[in-house]
Each structure stands twice: as C-alpha cells, then as structure tokens.
C-alpha cells in the first residue's frame, strides 16, 4: 500500500450525493490500477453517458477521460478515446477525435489496457439504466462488450464509476445491489480487474492521474484553469448537460464547478510537497484571527515565517507580534495573493468564495491542525469519534498522571495544537524529513500530546499522522452534516490515512463498520470490546480489564469502577493506548 495513494482513494470517495460511495470502495484498487497503467503501452479510454431526456451527453466522464489521457500521454503511453455517436460531440469539444463504436477495437488496436470512465454497464437483464432506474438501452451503444472481450483476451481492465450502474462496478455488484437506489435494476454486472469508485466519476479519473503522479514523482494533474475550461467547453461547444439537473450548465452531477476544483487541488496537495518542507521563511496568510488564528500566527512567527492576517471583523494583534500586513472587514484575494500558503480558521467554510479563489490560484490552504503538525511533527495521540473524545483524552491524562507521567491535552473545544506547541519548551523547528523512522515505542515518553479531533478537522488533513489514532465510535446523530454513515466513516478514517507500519490504530471490535477499517490501515491495529476477548487489544471479562499487546494476556485488575463509564470502549481505548505508551496499569482503573 502507499499512504499518499490511499489518501487520494479516500478523498475521491467524498460523497456529496449520499450514495454510500465509501461502502463501494475496494481498498488499494487505485494504487493497483495506477501501477498497472504505468506499465501500459496503449490504453483505450471509454467514456460518455448520454441523457436521452436532454438529448445530449453529460458533463461527467469525458473531461475526466481527457485528464487521464493527458497523464498517460505525459508518461509516453499511447491513448485512444472511445465513445458512441451520441457522445462524440463532447470529445470533439475537447479537441479529441474519438473512435466511434469500434466493435473490433480489442483485436485491431491490440491495447494493453481498457479504462472506462462513467460509461453504462449492463444490468442483470442485459439492459442499461440510469441512476433513476430508467432504461436507456436505446441510446447506449454496447461498449461494455469491449470489456467483456478484453477480459476474455487477458487485457487489463479498469472501471471508474460513481453510482453502481457503470462498467467496472460489477466487481462490487453485491454491495451495489443492496445499498444504492434501484440497485436490483441498475447494478452493473460488468466487472473489471480494478474498480475505482468515486463521488463523481471525473474525480475518479483525477484520482487515477493523481496516483500516477505519486508513482512517477511528477504532477500529472490538469491545472485548475484547464479543468474549468474543459468542463466549460463540453457544455458550450459539445452541448453537454449536467447528469443530475439535465441543464446546459458547467456543473457536474449537480455540483458547482468550484467543488470539482476543490477536489482537484486537494488531490494535488497529496502529491506535491508542502511549502513548509522547503525549510525557508514563507509568507503565510492567516484567515480569521480567532483562537486558532492567533496561536497559528504566533507559532509561525516564532519559527521565522511572516504572516499576513485577514479577518472579517477588526483585529487586535497579540502584543509583540510583528506581521507583514493586516486586512479587516473581509477576505480579499488581492491581499492574499503572493502568499506561499494560507491557514484557514474553522469559521472559514470549505465552500467560501475566498477559498475557491485560493484553490483556483493553486495557493495551498490548510487547517490550523495540519499547519501545526507540519511545523512541528511529533508523536501524538489523536482521539476521534462521535461521543467521548474529550473525556477519553482527559482519562488518558489521568492514567498518565497516576503513573507519574505528564500528558498535555487539547484539540477540539480545547487548546489548539499550535497553542500547545507554543507553550512547550521542546524544539519545534524539526521538519518532517528530519524525523527518523518511528520505532514501536513512543519517542518522547515524557512530552506527549493527546488531542481530541473532530470530523471537521479531519476532512482537510493532508500529512497529519498521529502515532496513536483512536476511533471511538460513530453515531447516526451526525448524519445531517455528513449525509451518510459511509461518508462519516470515510472522514473519520482520515485520522489514520498517513500511518506507517509502526503507527497504531485502536478500533471498537463490536462495531462491524469500524472493525473492518483495519483492512484499510497500513499500521498495527488494536481492538477494544466489552463483549469478547480480542486477538490484540483490550476487553472486559469477569469484571476485569484484560489486555493483549504482544501475545501475552494481562489482567489489569478490578474494573468495577468502569461501570461508571457509559461507553466502556472509550475506557478500554484509553487503557490500551496508555499500555502502548509503556504505562504500567496494574491497579484498579
């Protein structure tokens, strides 16, 4: 596995329409598909989804196909674009002359790979259907035949889809059948060797280009400008419509263009080094001078960077803080233009116009958590979950204190990480590249930080890598904001995205949705359960807490007082984390 590509795989599964996309993601397919493509000689890319009600093809598909084709071209791989006569105008709008309905393509062109980007795949009854369950067979040329033939001939096939009814999604047929709307009718039976599920199919293609970028060490993604122009051209010149709204607008699946640009730039953050890795003094924009903005500004200047502060309200600078400039009364791109990066306070929404402007200009935007971690990467314990983050972090501090050790705590609704780092006496100047490969033990046993981390903070992490990550629980109560449980779990799992083999993840065994995340984890996973013994982790039995870290079962004494905890898994998670930090816990907890 490759953490950068796993992180991209997670990002592109962002699920704006609540289609249970993350539930259809097969771990590591993006990396395997990109590795295979990189060895390709000639690749046929099939795309185009015709909307009969609108009389045109949709905006999702061809722009992504072109982005992928451009990336493959840059790697010296020959590319053919393939579609049917209904969708050909979209390709021509992109200055591409596609092969139209080439039934003998596989034998004639002898490609090494076939890739589908948002192209209907036949259902169980052999018919093609859109996501509303409407039969579109009369206006869909059976290009999936090429994939069936390619599979028979031993070619490598890749399918990118976002609904379950596309070529490739036959690989997750059972999941699509049971979780997507009209699944029984529309679920595609056409499987490919590799199946990439994304919130929007274009994003899946950007994700493949991003994975190829990671593997080749080059940025092969389209520019934000180029991406916008392509989507605009398929609408204006190619007559494309949005596949959801059926309107002739440069939107994709009902989403504003800025959402796709944000996705593209977030993928790019995963493949290019952070400006903070340059090891030179940077000009950093600070959006919002509230609690996180203040501590971020102070930490940045302490490390020799210059800051430019922009706030909607008035700004009273901390005494002694020297800044490059202050803007009040709103955020403007003119003020922030020229910054090497911008740190945004939680109050500045992801979809705010200033962030869109920054994305368009490819100025990296990061959260205070990500910034603080990159400024001073160190071993952290991070706790997330719907219920009990804060109390678990406090419990950890108590466990540390009773063993005579200090634990500094903060995070969500507590002190931000940059404030904790400011208060510490530790050297905060080390860069990520200076950090030696972590050992199985915590490196700074006396100077640890534990943070409660919210979903909101995790949504935008890039390099954040807590040595011990604890995912306590998930609760349906948060569905309003995150739209689906699958999407909520996707965001929560970003807490361990960057884990290396020696990093640790603690999961609740009794929740199958979370237990199975261990398959997506690169490091060591420990489980907690209040129902049964687990292979590695902590559990409750006979009124006692048991742990097993390295094959030896330990009984940690009477757990009578654990009855006071409504969420025993949270207590067990704290105990196992403390044990992993080397704390002796042989007394009653």
- Binding segment toward Ca ion, per CB under 5 A, in 154-162, 380-388, 423-431, 432-440: 154-162
Q: Find the residue with minimal CB distance to Ca ion.
A: 60
Q: Is 162 in the site for Ca ion (CB under 5 A)?
A: yes
Sequence-distant (6+) residues with CB within 8 A of 512 are: none
Q: Minimum CB separation from Ca ion for residue 117, in Å?
A: 10
- Binding segment toward Ca ion, per CB under 5 A, in 14-22, 160-168, 351-359, 488-496: 160-168
What is the SS3 assignment for 484? coil
Q: Is 242 in the site for Ca ion (CB under 5 A)?
A: no
Q: Residue 64 or 416: which CB sits closer to Ca ion? A: 64
Q: Minimum CB separation from Ca ion for residue 195, in Å?
A: 15
- Of the candidates 62, 61, 57, 79, the one whose C-alpha atom is nearest the C-alpha of residue 70 is 79
233 burial via Cβ count (<10 Å: 0-12, 13-18, 19+): buried
Q: Residue 253 or 370: which CB sits closer to Ca ion? A: 253
Which region holds residue 58: left if phi is over 0, alpha if psi is between -120 and 50, else beta?
A: beta
What is the SS3 assignment for 66? helix
Q: Minimum CB separation from Ca ion for residue 231, in Å?
A: 13
197-226 residues in contact with Ca ion (CB under 5 A) are 201
Torsion of CA 49, 50, 52, 54, to 10 degrees: 100
Q: Minimum CB separation from Ca ion for residue 95, in Å?
A: 23
Q: Minimum CB separation from Ca ion for residue 133, in Å?
A: 15
Q: Residue 10 or 201: which CB sits closer to Ca ion? A: 201
Q: Residue 200 or 572: which CB sits closer to Ca ion? A: 200
Q: Residue 118 or 379: which CB sits closer to Ca ion? A: 118
Q: Residue 136 or 309: which CB sits closer to Ca ion? A: 136
* 35's tokens: 């590795």
- Binding segment toward Ca ion, per CB under 5 A, in 145-153, 193-201, 351-359, 432-440: 193-201
Tell me if 126 sits within 8 A of 187, measured CB to CB.
no
# of chain residues touching Ca ion (CB under 5 A): 4
- Binding segment toward Ca ion, per CB under 5 A, in 162-170, 405-413, 513-521, 526-534: 162-170
Sequence-distant (6+) residues with CB within 8 A of 106 are: 114, 146, 149, 150, 153, 155
34-93 residues in contact with Ca ion (CB under 5 A) are 60
**CA dihedral (233, 234, 237, 240) positive or negative:** negative
* 503's tokens: 């990093």
Which of 253, 265, 368, 487 contacts Ca ion by CB under 5 A? 253
Distance, CA of 273 to CA of 553 (rounded, Å):
43
Residue listed under structure tokens 């048991």: 546
- Binding segment toward Ca ion, per CB under 5 A, in 67-75, 251-259, 354-362, 549-557: 251-259
> Which stretches of the chain bind Ca ion, using CB under 5 A?
60, 162, 201, 253
């Amino acid at each position: 596995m490759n953490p950068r590509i796993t992180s991209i795989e997670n990002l592109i599964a962002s699920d704006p329409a609540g289609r249970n996309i993350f539930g259809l993601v097969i771990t590591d397919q993006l990396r395997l598909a990109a590795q295979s493509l990189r060895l390709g000689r000639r690749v046929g890319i099939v795309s185009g989804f015709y909307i009969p009600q609108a009389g045109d093809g949709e905006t999702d598909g061809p722009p992504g196909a072109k982005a992928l084709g451009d990336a493959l071209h840059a790697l010296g791989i020959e590319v053919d674009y393939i579609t049917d006569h209904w969708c050909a105008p979209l390709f021509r709008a992109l200055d591409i002359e596609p092969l139209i309905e080439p039934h003998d393509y596989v034998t004639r062109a002898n490609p090494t790979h076939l890739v589908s980007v948002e192209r209907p795949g036949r259902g169980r009854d052999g018919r093609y259907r859109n996501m509303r369950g409407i039969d579109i067979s009369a206006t869909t040329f059976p290009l999936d035949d090429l994939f069936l033939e390619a599979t028979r001939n031993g070619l490598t096939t890749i399918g990118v889809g976002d609904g379950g009814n596309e070529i490739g999604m036959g690989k997750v047929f059972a999941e699509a059948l049971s979780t997507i709307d009209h699944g029984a009718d529309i679920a595609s039976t056409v499987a490919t060797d590799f199946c990439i599920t994304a919130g929007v199919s274009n994003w899946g293609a950007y994700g493949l280009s991003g994975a190829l970028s990671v593997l080749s060490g080059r940025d092969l993604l389209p520019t934000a400008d180029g991406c916008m122009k392509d989507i605009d051209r398929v609408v204006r010149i190619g007559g494309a419509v949005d596949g959801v709204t059926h309107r002739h607008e440069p939107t994709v699946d009902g989403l504003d263009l800025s959402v796709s640009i944000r996705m593209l730039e977030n993928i790019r953050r995963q493949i290019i080094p952070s400006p903070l890795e340059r090891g030179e003094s940077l000009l950093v924009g600070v959006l919002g001078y509230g609690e996180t903005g203040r501590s971020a500004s102070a930490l940045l200047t302490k490390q020799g960077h210059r800051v430019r502060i922009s706030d909607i309200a008035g700004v009273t600078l901390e005494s002694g803080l020297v800044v490059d400039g202050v803007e009040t009364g709103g955020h403007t791109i003119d003020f922030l233009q020229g910054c090497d990066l911008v740190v945004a306070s939680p109050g500045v929404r992801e979809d705010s116009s200033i962030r869109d402007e920054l994305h368009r200009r490819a100025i990296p935007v990061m959260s205070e958590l990500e910034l603080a971690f990159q400024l001073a990467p160190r071993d952290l314990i991070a706790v997330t979950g719907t219920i009990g983050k804060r109390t678990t972090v406090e419990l950890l501090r108590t466990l540390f204190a009773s063993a005579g050790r200090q634990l500094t705590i903060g995070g969500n609704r507590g002190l931000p990480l940059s404030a904790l780092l400011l208060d510490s006496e530790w050297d905060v100047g080390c860069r990520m590249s200076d950090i030696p490969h972590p050992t199985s033990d915590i490196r700074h046993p006396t100077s640890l930080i534990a943070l409660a981390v919210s979903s909101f903070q995790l949504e935008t992490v890039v390099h954040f890598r807590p040595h011990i990550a604890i995912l306590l629980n998930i609760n349906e109560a948060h569905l309003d904001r995150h739209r689906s449980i699958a999407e909520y779990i996707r965001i929560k799992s970003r807490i361990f995205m960057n884990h290396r083999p020696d990093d640790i993840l603690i999961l609740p065994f009794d929740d199958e949705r979370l237990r199975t995340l261990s398959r997506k984890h690169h490091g060591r996973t420990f489980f907690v359960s209040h129902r049964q013994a687990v292979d590695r982790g902590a559990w409750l039995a006979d009124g006692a807490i048991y742990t097993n870290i390295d094959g030896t079962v330990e009984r940690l004494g009477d757990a009578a007082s654990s009855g006071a905890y409504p969420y025993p898994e949270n207590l067990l998670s704290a105990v196992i984390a403390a044990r992993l930090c080397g704390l002796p816990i042989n007394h009653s907890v």
